[in-house]
Amino acid sequence: KKILGEIDIQQLISTRDFLHEALHEAESKLEIAGTIQAFE
């Protein structure tokens, strides 16, 4: 049986990882958009 605190920590870690991935993807898209605008 898991302790509630353990589950919470796992959820926090997976949420943080998800947000980190989403942020990285958003930054890449912004960089691409900025590059396209620079050539226009």
What pLDDT tens digit does each residue of the chain (40 aa) get?
A: 666 667 788 889 999 999 999 999 999 999 999 998 888 7
Taking the C-alpha atoms of residue 22 and residue 30, their distance in angstroms, rounded to an integer, is 12
> What pTM, to 2 d.p., does this model score?
0.61
Locate 35 and state its tokens: 């590059």
For 20, the enclosing helix (H) or strand (E) is: helix 4-39
Taking the C-alpha atoms of residue 16 and residue 21, their distance in angstroms, rounded to an integer, is 9
